[in-house]
Structure 1
Amino acid sequence: MRARDASVGEPVPGRVMAGDAGRALDRTKLLAARLRAAGAQPYLASALYSLTVVPGYEVPTMGVDRYWRCYVNPAFVEATPVHELAAVWVHEVAHLLRDHHGRAGLLAPEVRHDHHRVNIAQDCEINDDIAALPATALRPAMFGLPDGRMFEQYLPDIPPTPHPPECGSGAHGRSMPWEVSDAARVSPVEAAAIRRQTAIEMRAHVKAQGRIPEGWRRWADEILEPVVDWRRALTGAVREAASWASGAVDYTYQRPSRRGSAVPRVVFPSLRRPMPRVAVVVDTSGSMGDDELRAVLGEVAGVLRAVGIGRDRVTVLACDADVHAVRRASTVGDVVLAGGGGTDMRVGIEQALRGPERPHIVIVLTDGHTPWPEGRPGSVRVIAGLVGAGAEPPPSWIETVVIPLDQVAGTPKS
């Protein structure tokens, strides 16, 4: 794809801009810094030259919105050496290439709304791969954290800070006052094409020269060999099973059929379409941590709500080698996660099927190190959510969704 050379935009009417403050934007220096960034990391050139620059004094330094518009403070450009400006160019385009605003939208609301902490975690994900940034740039080591993680992994360990970064809606997703709507924009389709082209150029660079920063290599692999988000996979599996269960109509006399009016003194039953009942069997063995389980269980509760299954139709069972707690969950926080012994999820599945109201769907959340029933339990659909990796897959009649821990927002990492 041919790189689009977006020209530096004009000052935004009605704002305090460079001309009003007696200082013009040094466009030559700014564009020289972009040229330096593209020369040092040529695989980022297509993305760098797709940014439209908008000068403005309201942005603290530099920031981006989700439409690939880069807002630049002229005073910041004047005060910053060219080699550091080049690193900031790479930093800002990294927010957009890594789809930080899209990923931030998948966080739980109470986490997503703290956009300052989200932005800090995102900067930690990016900056460990950029050597030329100013010494004040946020890095994982400043918070006692290791390099090489995703921002979702850093987020639980990021404390509030009185001096948060402000990289714009292109990072944390929240529109800022200094963002405008009348400058040139990149559409989501164009952004996806830029990301893919950049990933292809990274692969070609590795083949020709042999090395790129590890974070970019991992990102390129994910773009060119995408992993299906487990939430979508689980939502699809539950929705399909719920549709199947709802189609299992039965007769009821609680609501007589309208056909009965044609035959006096004869009561005809009507057909009813049941709302699916769901049992969630949770592995509480010693190999599964409570924080991990609660994070995954919270995500699963959101999946069930999205499919339209109310909490009064859901029963949660905590299980290891024996069933320790069986109760209907009113909220995720009410779920008792007891246990800690060996793992045998067959016990939990059997207990779910023996309940007063037989479920239509059984969702099993486990690390997978467990025996499974020998065959399908009648007409009940079983879906296994395998938390983590490395376990043997369940039998083929069980629909399986792998849940990587690094895709579970809010799960503490070791």
Structure 2
Amino acid sequence: MTAEAPGTLDLDKLFAARLHAARARPYLATALFALHTVESRLVPTMSVDRYWRCYVSPAFVDRMPVEDLAGVWVHEVSHLLRDHHGRSDRVARERGLTGPGERLRMNIAADFEINDDAFGDGLLRPEGAVEPQALGLPAGQLMEDYLRRFGLEPRTQGMAWLDCGSGADGLTREWELGPDGAHGLSEQEQDAVRFRVAQGITARPGHMPKGWKRWAAEAFHPPQPWRALLGAAVRSAASGPGAGDDYTYGRPSRRSAGVPGAVLPSLRRRPPRVSVVIDTSASVSDTELGSAILEVAAISRAVGGRRDLVTVVSCDAAARVAHPLCRAEGIQLMGGGGTDLRAGFTRALRGRPRPDVVVVLTDGQTPWPATQPPCRTVVGLFPRQYGNRSWDEDDPDYVPDSPPAWARVVDIG
């Protein structure tokens, strides 16, 4: 092997370390080889940007053993697989965290999430790798959890050198090539890499760290922002044509001038009325009923906070009395028997005035109305571990009907 010129990046050593990392963590191989290396003397050690470029300091590679560099490879690619840049941006918006100090805290918290179970089993812990135990914090938590539990203090002074790039905390560095630079991965390509890695993890469930198992499960089944979806579905249904529209003689129609001797009513917009049908059958757990109560309060906010416009019907095989929403804590949910939400629909539509929107919160184990109700319908479905199949000792092959096509469906949880 020829000697490297002074100050140049030793690619043979760097790529040998990557190969060692892939052998030690074969399920990460796709991600490791998806990274494009960029030599940079501005980088303190190694760092990644959000476009899957890995910036490497030649001096850092020279002084680090191959085994330690392998651990750094795994550490840096873990930031990207776990979307630490996107999560940091979301946390910054939600909690109002600004400035380089807060981004440093995010980098430290992201390192805690990775390093607590990243090393061992053929992979050495690199020199200087920080772990949550250094601040007296428990292992196994997420970056967002760690952020709530520490601030910049004397114990974190020794961590101020950490700089894993925008791929770790979302803050763009001066040495990064940006979105228009060469060799960056698109969002679709990044998702494809994550999916392949998740496949490799689920194929080897016996010898996998808990953190990676959790990540793979979320990669295959990403959590939906279902609260936002449910609120958006209610608002969309309530603001659609015809919902909340009524005629009034309080303001005569402008067309009355064209019909002498007649006073025509004008069309006015009133706040929409919502009826919430809650499935209280035995197949719905107490936890889900508690969640339903919280969603009723959220639905009232979705229609402008007018609780007098929201009524609640609890229903198992029979519909109970519909009552207006005074406060979420006062809702009485009665039931516990079989399920037939058709009775709930009937009770809700008999209300006067008739609702503009019917929202159904259920596990889906119910018959549905044969015809479309004369108003918009939103169905919030509680999850079931057995998918779309229902246990029935009399008919083990029974498959419940899916919600009808005329309903807007949102998966809850």
TM band (smaller chain): 0.5 to 0.7
Contact 1:260 1:267 in 2 (8 A): yes
Tell me the CA shift for residue 120 of structure 1.
1.9
Aligned length: 313
CA RMSD, Structure 1 to Structure 2 (Å): 4.1
Equivalent residue for 2:183? 184
Q: Which moved more, 1:144-153 or 1:258-267?
A: 258-267
One-letter code of the match for 1:193?
Answer: A
Contact 2:49 2:165 in 1 (8 A): yes
Change (3 A) 1:121 1:394: farther
SS at match of 2:270: coil
Equivalent residue for 2:333, pick from 349, 363, 372: 372
Tell me the CA shift for residue 41 of structure 1.
0.6
SS at match of 2:54: strand
Change (3 A) 1:278 1:365: farther
Tell me the CA shift for residue 86 of structure 1.
0.8
Equivalent residue for 1:171? 168
Contact 1:278 1:314 in 2 (8 A): no
Change (3 A) 1:245 1:48: same
SS at match of 1:48: helix
Greater gyration radius: 2
Distance 1:170 1:214 in 2: 22
Distance 2:360 2:88 in 1: 27
Change (3 A) 1:134 1:394: same
One-letter code of the match for 1:188?
Answer: E
One-letter code of the match for 1:146?
Answer: P
SS at match of 1:314: coil
Tell me the CA shift for residue 80 of structure 1.
1.9
Q: TM-score, normalised by structure 2?
A: 0.63
Equivalent residue for 2:69? 85
Equivalent residue for 2:229, pick from 220, 227, 233: 233
Distance 1:395 1:223 in 2: 28
Tell me the CA shift for residue 57 of structure 1.
2.0
Tell me the CA shift for residue 97 of structure 1.
1.1
Q: How does 1:118-137 map to 2 (within 5 A)?
A: 118-131=106-119, 132-137=124-129
Equivalent residue for 1:42? 26
Tell me the CA shift for residue 23 of structure 1.
1.5
Distance 1:173 1:274 in 2: 45
One-letter code of the match for 1:220?
Answer: A
Change (3 A) 1:373 1:151: same
Tell me the CA shift for residue 124 of structure 1.
1.3
Contact 2:273 2:357 in 1 (8 A): no
Equivalent residue for 2:305, pick from 307, 311, 314: 314
Q: How does 1:90-109 map to 2 (within 5 A)?
A: 90-107=74-91, 108-109=93-94
Q: How does 1:13-412 map to 2 (within 5 A)?
A: 23-107=7-91, 108-113=93-98, 114-131=102-119, 132-160=124-152, 161-162=156-157, 163=160, 165-181=162-178, 182-206=181-205, 210-243=206-239, 247-253=243-249, 255-264=251-260, 266-276=262-272, 313-314=304-305, 350-352=324-326, 371-372=332-333, 378=351, 379=355, 400=380
Q: TM-score, normalised by structure 1?
A: 0.63
Distance 1:383 1:91 in 2: 46
The list of structure 1 runs, each at least 4 consecutive aligned residues, that deviate by more than 6 angstroms after superposition, is 382-385, 392-398
Deviations 1:279-310 (A, max 9, x none): 9xxxxxxx99xxxx9xx99xx79x97xx7x6x
Distance 2:36 2:218 in 1: 26
Tell me the CA shift for residue 55 of structure 1.
1.3
Q: Which moved more, 1:42-51 or 1:230-239?
A: 230-239
Deviations 1:176-207 (A, max 9, x none): 2121132211111111111111111122233x
Q: Which moved more, 1:104-113 or 1:146-155?
A: 104-113
Distance 2:231 2:67 in 1: 47
Change (3 A) 1:380 1:256: closer
Structure 2 segments unaligned to the other structure (5+ residues): 276-285, 309-319, 336-343, 367-376, 384-413
Contact 1:249 1:272 in 2 (8 A): yes
Distance 2:186 2:207 in 1: 31
Structure 1 segments unaligned to the other structure (5+ residues): 1-17, 280-286, 318-345, 354-363, 386-391, 404-414
Change (3 A) 1:382 1:45: same
Could you tell me the percent identity over the aligned residues? 43
Distance 2:247 2:379 in 1: 29
One-letter code of the match for 1:148?
Answer: G
Change (3 A) 1:277 1:382: closer
Deviations 1:213-254 (A, max 9, x none): 111112112222343333443344433443359723112345
Deviations 1:159-180 (A, max 9, x none): 1255163222222222221211
Contact 1:237 1:399 in 2 (8 A): no
Distance 1:173 1:242 in 2: 38
Distance 2:218 2:202 in 1: 12
Q: Which moved more, 1:164-173 or 1:149-158?
A: 164-173
